[in-house]
Structure 1
């Protein structure tokens, strides 16, 4: 019987969240070879390809997207079960973030946590915004980064502009919208704008890699708060009407000192200002 290794599934989700193996490996503090090995192990267990190369980037196969959906669900249940079994006071510090948080922002969080809690390891988990909010509510995260109201103790970090992007190798079909599946704050802003401009929803995607691949292959457009740098096959579209900004927010558990929370907020705000 085939089995799904949790470590491999976590690598898979992180690759989807960061849009590539290298960025995922950096986030997980693993080598690119290790993360690629995790993907190959999943493919070997399941007996079909999950990812396919597209130039310098990768895309999920149709069955790979099915695996990714299950991976999000299984990891969520796995993490909730661990929280119930072990309680909140485990040795690791857990940072839960949306897939749109950038590497500099995550490094800023890690620097503060490492300084204030040098004897504790840091684990990163990546989920959709709705699950990030749940992690604050069920206290399964020490640090949560997401969009909008994250519940009690939410700290506003910055208002992120949404940037339209389209294919680089052709004229974009600006009436064809590619969005994430619901619930999604970015999707809501895109579709609200579309209702007033006559655009229509052409495709929904569960993760960042699928979204970027759909823009490249269909010629449609989407909008993101933080566009991956030097993403092959894509370009910014500066001539389309601007979209409302989206608030990046921070929440921390009561297990962290107030000074640590304030230091994380300051580090995130400084990181954001440095990249304006």
Structure 2
């Protein structure tokens, strides 16, 4: 009987969230070979291809997209079960982040946590911002980075500018809008923008890899944070009306000392100013 390894599923979800193996490996503090090996192990176990090459990029196969949906559900159940069994204060320090938090920001959080808790491993989980908000409320995360209001204790870190992008190899079909599935702050700004007037929502995507692939294959347009607007196969569309920025927000658990919480916020501010 086939089995699904939780570590491999976490790599799969991170690849989807970050739009590629290299950035997923950086975020997970693993080698690219390790993350690629996790994907190959899933393919070997299940007997079908999960990802496919698209030039210098990758995309999910249709069955890979099915696996991704199951992976999100299984990881959520797995992490919730551990929280119930071990309690909120046991085991690893957990950082839950939106995929729009850059690798330098995640390193800044890890440095503060490692300084104050050198004996506790740090584990990263990556979700859409709606799931990040849930992790704050169910106390399954020690640090949460997301887009918009994360509820009680939300701290504003930075405003992330958005940029319109389209395919690099042809004239963009500006009548086709590509967006993340709801709920999503970037989607809301796309659909409410002046540029959306008279255009149709051509495709909704659950993850970054699918979004990028949809823009490349359909020729449509979307908006991305400026930290991600240089994706392979895409180009900026400066002629379209500007979009309002999205707020990057932080919530830290009361299980962390006040000094640790304040230092995480300060480190994020400083890192954003240096790298944002």
- Aligned twin of 1:117: 117
More divergent stretch after superposition (218-227 vs 178-187): 218-227
- Aligned twin of 2:95: 95
Q: Contact (CA 8 Å) 1:100, 1:226: kept in 2 or not? A: no
Alpha carbon RMSD of aligned pairs, Å? 1.4
The answer for unaligned runs of 5 or more in structure 2 is: none
- Aligned twin of 1:143: 143
Secondary structure at the counterpart of residue 139 of structure 1: coil
Tell me how far apart the structure 1 counterparts of residues 194 and 134 of structure 2 sit (CA, whole Å): 29
Tell me how far apart the structure 2 counterparts of residues 167 and 195 of structure 1 sit (CA, whole Å): 17
Q: Displacement, 1:230?
A: 4.3
Secondary structure at the counterpart of residue 228 of structure 2: coil
Q: Contact (CA 8 Å) 1:9, 1:71: kept in 2 or not? A: yes
Secondary structure at the counterpart of residue 4 of structure 1: coil
Q: Contact (CA 8 Å) 2:53, 2:59: kept in 1 or not? A: yes
- Aligned twin of 2:162: 162
TM-score, L = length of structure 1? 0.96
Can you list the C-alpha shifts for 1:130-168, whole angstroms capped at 9, x where unaligned? 110010001000000001111111101111111111111
Q: Displacement, 1:176?
A: 0.6
- Indicate yes or no: 2:188 matched with 1:188: yes
- Aligned twin of 1:17: 17
Secondary structure at the counterpart of residue 124 of structure 2: strand
Secondary structure at the counterpart of residue 235 of structure 1: strand
Count of residues in Structure 1 that have an aligned counterpart in Structure 2: 276
More divergent stretch after superposition (131-140 vs 23-32): 23-32
Tell me how far apart the structure 2 counterparts of residues 163 and 262 of structure 1 sit (CA, whole Å): 31
Tell me how far apart the structure 2 counterparts of residues 78 and 203 of structure 1 sit (CA, whole Å): 30
Tell me how far apart the structure 1 counterparts of residues 234 and 249 of structure 2 sit (CA, whole Å): 27
- Aligned twin of 1:249: 249
Can you list the C-alpha shifts for 1:241-268, whole angstroms capped at 9, x where unaligned? 0111111100011111111111111111
Q: Displacement, 1:91?
A: 2.4
Q: Contact (CA 8 Å) 1:163, 1:227: kept in 2 or not? A: no
The answer for unaligned runs of 5 or more in structure 1 is: none
Q: Displacement, 1:44?
A: 1.3
Tell me how far apart the structure 1 counterparts of residues 149 and 229 of structure 2 sit (CA, whole Å): 27
Can you list the C-alpha shifts for 1:50-75, whole angstroms capped at 9, x where unaligned? 10012222111111111111111111
More divergent stretch after superposition (113-122 vs 78-87): 113-122
- Aligned twin of 1:55: 55
Can you list the C-alpha shifts for 1:96-118, whole angstroms capped at 9, x where unaligned? 00111111111111111111211
- Aligned twin of 1:76: 76
Tell me how far apart the structure 1 counterparts of residues 110 and 235 of structure 2 sit (CA, whole Å): 31
Tell me how far apart the structure 1 counterparts of residues 227 and 30 of structure 2 sit (CA, whole Å): 24
- Aligned twin of 1:28: 28
Q: Displacement, 1:227?
A: 3.9
- Aligned twin of 1:3: 3
Q: Contact (CA 8 Å) 1:102, 1:226: kept in 2 or not? A: no
TM-score, L = length of structure 2? 0.96
Q: Contact (CA 8 Å) 1:194, 1:200: kept in 2 or not? A: no
